[in-house]
Structures are given as structure tokens and as C-alpha cells.
Amino acid sequence: MIEAVCWDVGGVFSARPVDAIGRIAQQHGLDPDDVFAAVFGPYHLDGDHVWHRLERGELPLAEAWNEVECAVAELGIGLALADFFRQFRTDEADRTVVTETARELHSDGVAMAVVTNNVAEFSGGDGPGWHSIVPMEIMSVVVDSSAVGMRKPDPAIYHHVLAQLGVAAQSAVFVDDMPANVEAAQSVGMHGIVVGSDPAQAMTELKSLVMRVE
């Protein structure tokens, strides 16, 4: 049976980074893949790209963003940090279904956890950080990449959250908007749900999976 659901944050409880990058690329007539690579690097890997190091807590945001700006400038555009994150405020999807599903499953006795690739500067639980968009009161485990020094899709971060939860991989579901992160979770034995442009569809799949796996 499913004992735990492990949630990504950005792209699940909030707008998808891939959509924000798409809007930036469209505004400048660029290929979204080129802009995504400049900002985030090869996101299907855990490597030495500056954004990967930032999410592992190895660099401060100000230093990392200087390198990102240089990479984006090579594409012929300027991208200030404030302008970049402003794009994340636009979200055409209704994500209340995600919070509602998390609360429903929690009330049914399923443990909840967060596993997020995050920037340390946005972790403030009492400020405008990502904690404000997640029902933190039902999350029994929180694994923040910038705090633990690991990031998805490194298998180690999935093993870490499973150990914190005290559940076997086959008894847990991982929910993320990045297919590579979900595939990595599946590689360690977890179930996986990819959240696309319609979060309601993914939540239906999640609830069906929880009911199906006995």
C-alpha cells in the first residue's frame, strides 16, 4: 500500500519553471531549450552547472546569478533576477487542486513530505519563501536541496527522504513536474507522477494510484 507521498514544490504547488522560461524565450524570439539550458543547465542531470551548485547550497544566489546573467547574455538578452522571478507569478493553472489532494490524502492517513530543489535564500518559513505556498502543517518531512547538499535527480536525495519517512520505496509516490526527476525516483523503486500543464489530471492519477496499490 502507499504510505507516503513526496511532493516537489515549483511546478506542482506553484507555476512551472518551464512555462516561465517559455514566456521569456517567446518575448525575445529565442528557442526555449536554449534559454532553459543557459539558466538551469542540463536539468536531467546533477552536475557542476552554476544553478546545480546553487541548489545544493554551494553558492549564494547573488554570485550564482552573475554567472547565469553572463550565460543568458550570450543569447543576446539581458535578464535581471527580479524580472526572471516575476515570470513565476504568472500561472494559468488552478493549483488549489494540489493542496486539496494533499490534505485529502493526509486525512486518509498517508504521510506527506516535501522534496524540493531550492535556493537557500527562498527557504524562509516565516517570509515570502516557498513555505507560504505549501500546506506545511501536514508535511512530516521536508528535504530542501540547499540544506542537505543533494538535489534531484541524484538518487541519494530520494533515499534520504525515504529514510526520514521510514517507508520502503515501493510504498511511496514522488510527484514532480520534471520527468527526469520522476524517472530518478522510479529508478530507486518509488512510484512516480508527472505534473504537466493540467495539475488536476495529475492529482486524479495520484489518487487512483494510492487507491490501486494495496
| pLDDT tens profile 144-169 | 999 999 999 999 999 999 999 999 99
For residues 197 and 105, membership in a common domain is answered with: yes
By C-alpha distance, which of 177, 160, 179 is closest to 169?
160
Sheet of strand 172-176, all strands in order from the earlier edge strand to the far edge: 139-144, 111-116, 4-7, 172-176, 191-194
Please give the grid coordinates belonging to residue 26.
Answer: 517567446
Residues 186 and 204 in one domain: yes
Average predicted confidence (pLDDT) for the chain? 93
Q: What is the pLDDT of residue 128?
A: 56
For 31, the domain range is: 17-89
pLDDT greater than 70 at residue 43: yes
- pLDDT confidence of residue 173: 98
Number of domains in the chain: 2
Query: Residues 169, 80: contact at Cβ < 8 Å?
Result: no
Last residue of a domain, one of 89, 121, 136: 89
pTM: 0.93
Based on the domain organization, do 61 and 96 belong to the same domain?
no
**Residue 148 is part of a domain; what is its CATH number?**
3.40.50.1000
Domain shared by 8 and 28, yes or no: no
Specify the range with the lowest mean pLDDT, choosing from 46-55, 75-84, 110-119, 185-194.
Answer: 75-84
Q: Are residues 206 and 116 in the same domain?
A: yes
- If one counts every other C-beta atom within 10 angstroms of the C-beta of residue 186, the result is 14
Q: Indicate the residue among 50, 72, 89 that finishes a domain.
A: 89
| pLDDT score for 177 | 96
Q: Classify residue 154 as left (phi > 0), alpha (psi -120 to 50) or beta.
A: beta
76-125 confidence digits (pLDDT tens): 988 887 778 777 777 778 999 999 999 999 999 999 999 999 999 887 65
Mean pLDDT of the 15-20 span: 88
Q: Are residues 85 and 101 in the same domain?
A: no
- Does residue 81 share a domain with residue 117? no
Q: In the chain, which ranges are E strands?
A: 4-7, 111-116, 139-144, 172-176, 191-194
C-alpha dihedral, 165 to 198 to 119 to 72, nearest 10°: 150
State which of 37, 54, 89 marks the end of a domain. 89
Is the domain of 102 the same as that of 204? yes
- Give the angle subtended at the CA of 63 by the CAs of 62 and 68, to the nearest 5°: 90
Residues 40, 145, single domain; the answer is no
